[in-house]
Amino acid sequence: MFADRTPPTTSNRSSAPATPDSSAGPPTDRLREPRNRDRYVRNRNRVTVRDLMEQMDATGQLPRVTDEPRAQRPRPAYDPGPVSNDVTTKIPQIVTGSPVDLSDAATAARVIAESRGQGHGRPLQPTPDLPDPIELRSAALRKPKRTRRQMFVRDATIAGRIVVAIACIVALGGAGYVWNYKRSWDGNWNTISAVNPDDANIRNKDAQYGDENYLIVGTDTRTGNNSSVGAGTASDVEGARSDTVILVNVPANRSRVVAVSFPRDLQVDRPQCRDWDNSSGTYGQSMPAETDVKLNSVYAVGGPECLVKLLTEMSGLNINHFIGMDFSGFRKIVDQVGGVEVCSPTPLYDYEIGTVLKKAGKQKLNGRTALRYVRARTISTEGNGDYGRIKRQQKFMSSLLRATLSGNVLSNPSKLNGIVNTFIQNSFVDGVDTQSLLDLADSMQGIEAGRVTFLTIPTSGTSTDGQNNEIPRTDDINNIFNAIIDDQPLPGETKKKAAKNTSAPSSDPAPTTSAPKTTKLSATAMSPGNIGVRVLNGTGKSGLATEVSEKLTPLGFDVRGVADASEQQSTTVVRYGTGEEDAAATLAKMFPGASIQPDHTVKSGVEVILGGDYSGSLSSTPDAGTKLTVTQLPATVGSSDLPNDLAVTNAGDTTCQ
């Protein structure tokens, strides 16, 4: 198969001719590709150029390549000989030209050229220029493949729910690209001793099977990078205290997330614990128990192990995960996320740390400003100390959760990986590793922000011993955690949407909702000094409960506290316990249109829950001993013993309060 005619046009893959050996003759003597009709020989096995040359016993020379016109070029003479089935009868015998180069290099070049001409009688198609390798797969096995980015976004969507499930936790899934990061994450966790699955104080342990309980602690250590972010220095305050304590419950059915915040000044009885050295992260000698101490001092003295032990005793929850982070770590996480948006109804100024927010309304906070936002607890416009700070922390974490679930973080693999690495480098944990978080994230697919509820431990004022400790309401605290363990509904919790059944129309009539039946109750007015009152704000309007309490106190009522109601009310109602009908009727007359209602959760005095119908003014006080007629609602129903004044924040709430 040697060229005796002008070769056809070839693709640029075969444009370079074979280079002959220098000993074979002049460089102008070279091989050329044959015409299409000369390229194929039917019914033959594929052979190499060397095999053909040996069969032909070729000793002639190739024609010299010249610049003469094609029609004037001399044609080689050959004798085809008799026709037979032998393959060589199809090959022209070369009788003129240069000797054929049979060196290995030249032969290899000819093999490549020859292979292009092998076929099954079909015209030779130009070799396409392919930028990418051809996939040699059966068409039946081909199916659309996700890109690495698509796989990462899918898995990271799960993973990101846990970063937030961790940052509050509440807010690190599956397979694919994320596992490349998983290998880098594994082994980098800073692990300390904290949890104890065999604690005898775990309540109804069988009912908690499958639950995940995370104790999230933000510490106020002044060492290291913390002094550079406004935390002060170690010379100001030594050691580390638990500045923020949140106990997060994720039930076995993954239907919701409940995060319970503890005031840092909550009065507690510290159990016997081992001494804790925060700088080295190690435990020392055993220390005796101590009563009536602040909650934040428990961590300072006994570290994570002691704090977990105390809160297990208080809550009865099986705390199986611990996560701690300091100021510097928090700031880095926020900056990695790209800032978190909050909304404040007023500018915020703190008497201790200065300006927090210069203006009201929606605004995105970077790490430094966010740290001031969640730390400040002497805000002039709030006036409720640590409770205002807890509320801001819950709103901040709700916003972080919503941003993550909306995809602002999860759609950026590089950002997510930076968040995870920053989290690992700046936290210390027990019972937490990459696999456990991925498993939890996978099981929480589809969780909505509205199914995440923040509660605050209720208290009944401060101690009178000069320590200003917040006195816990033990019975109400027990009822809160009983409801969590038993998966009972909680105030302010958005119910899970039921799946619509469109397969067949329902034959049952739609349920009808009727107004509660009311009755008229006759009562005797009491002296205001004999009526203990708690004022609860059920309107969402900030400061309303305090405003009403300041109006009731000069009238002689024994105002025992103010708080936000667990749920908002459209009408004002006065709730009372056993034997308090007259007190409830007397107070109800102060609020035009108010009703009274028996409530077994009210243990002492009465509670007025301000509704949306409150006009802002009070009626005159009834004279003691006069007969009163008031509207009474049916008693509250349900097995829940939760109080009416739980401070609740729903992560799906986007109102600016």
Q: 617: domain range?
A: 519-640
Same domain, 555 and 473: no
Q: What is the pLDDT of residues 68-97, one digit of tens each?
A: 554 555 555 544 455 444 444 444 454 545
Residue 593 within a domain: yes
- How many distinct structural domains can be found in the chain? 2
Torsion over CA: 359, 360, 362, 366 (sign): positive
Confidence (pLDDT) at 541: 82
Q: What angle do CA 72, 73, 76 make, to 5 degrees?
A: 135
Give helix then strand counts, H and E, for the chain: 13, 26
Same domain, 545 and 623: yes
Residues 51-61 have a mean pLDDT of 55
Q: What is the pLDDT of residues 270-291, one digit of tens each?
A: 999 999 998 888 999 999 999 9
Same domain, 467 and 533: no
Tell me, what CATH number does 415's domain have?
3.40.630.190
Burial 116-144 (b: 16+ CB within 10 A, else e): beeeeeeeeeeeeeeeeeeeeeeeeeeee
Residue 94 within a domain: no
Average pLDDT in the chain: 75
Same domain, 332 and 379: yes
Residue 150 within a domain: no
pLDDT exceeds 80 at position 590: yes
Helix (H) or strand (E) holding 249, with range, is strand 242-250
Of 310, 308, 316, give the one whose Cα is nearest residue 194.
308
pLDDT exceeds 60 at position 645: yes
pLDDT exceeds 70 at position 591: yes
**Residue-by-residue DSSP string for 205-233:** GGGGTT-EEEEEEEE---SGGGGGGTS--
Same domain, 477 and 559: no
Same domain, 447 and 458: yes
Residue 102 within a domain: no
Indicate the angle between helix axes 177-185 and 413-425, nearest 10 degrees.
Answer: 20
Q: What is the pLDDT of residues 293-317, one digit of tens each?
A: 999 899 999 999 999 999 999 999 9
Residue 179 within a domain: no
Q: Which two tokens stand for residue 594?
A: 């108010």
Q: Which residues, in sequence order, are bridge partners of residue 242?
A: 219
Confidence (pLDDT) at 75: 52
Backbone angles phi, psi at 273, to 5 degrees: -145, 175
Spatial distance between the Cα atoms of 240 and 190, rounded to a whole number of angstroms:
17
Provide the pairing of β-strand 606-610 with 532-537.
parallel
Residue 206 within a domain: yes
Residues 153-163 have a mean pLDDT of 40
Beta strands in 304-425 (DSSP E): 321-325, 340-344, 348-350, 354-357, 361-365
Residue 4 within a domain: no
Same domain, 460 and 552: no
Confidence (pLDDT) at 637: 77
Residue 1 within a domain: no
Beta strands in 432-530 (DSSP E): 452-456, 459-462, 470-472, 519-524
Same domain, 376 and 476: yes
Residues 36-52 have a mean pLDDT of 55
Confidence (pLDDT) at 613: 93
Give the lowest-confidence range in 30-44, 441-455, 459-473. Answer: 30-44
Query: Tell me, what DSSP letter sits at residue 336?
Result: H
Burial 426-450 (b: 16+ CB within 10 A, else e): bbbbbbbbbebbbbbbbbbeebebb
Same domain, 588 and 651: no
**Residue-by-residue DSSP string for 37-76:** GGS--SS-----HHHHHHHHT---EEPPP-SS-GGGSPPP
Give the lowest-confidence range in 116-130, 226-240, 641-655. Answer: 226-240
Confidence (pLDDT) at 120: 46
Confidence of residue 98 (pLDDT cuts 50, 70, 90): low
Q: Where are the alpha helices (DSSP H) in 516-651?
A: 544-552, 581-588
pTM (global) more than 0.75: no
SS3 category, 534? strand
**Dihedral (Cα; 359, 364, 366, 369), 10-degree rounding:** 30
Same domain, 298 and 254: yes
Q: What is the pLDDT of residues 596-630, one digit of tens each?
A: 999 988 988 999 999 999 999 999 999 999 999 99
Whether the CB-CB separation of 641 and 478 falls below 8 Å is answered with no
Confidence (pLDDT) at 49: 60
Same domain, 533 and 571: yes
Confidence (pLDDT) at 139: 42
Same domain, 363 and 448: yes
Whether the CB-CB separation of 538 and 568 falls below 8 Å is answered with yes
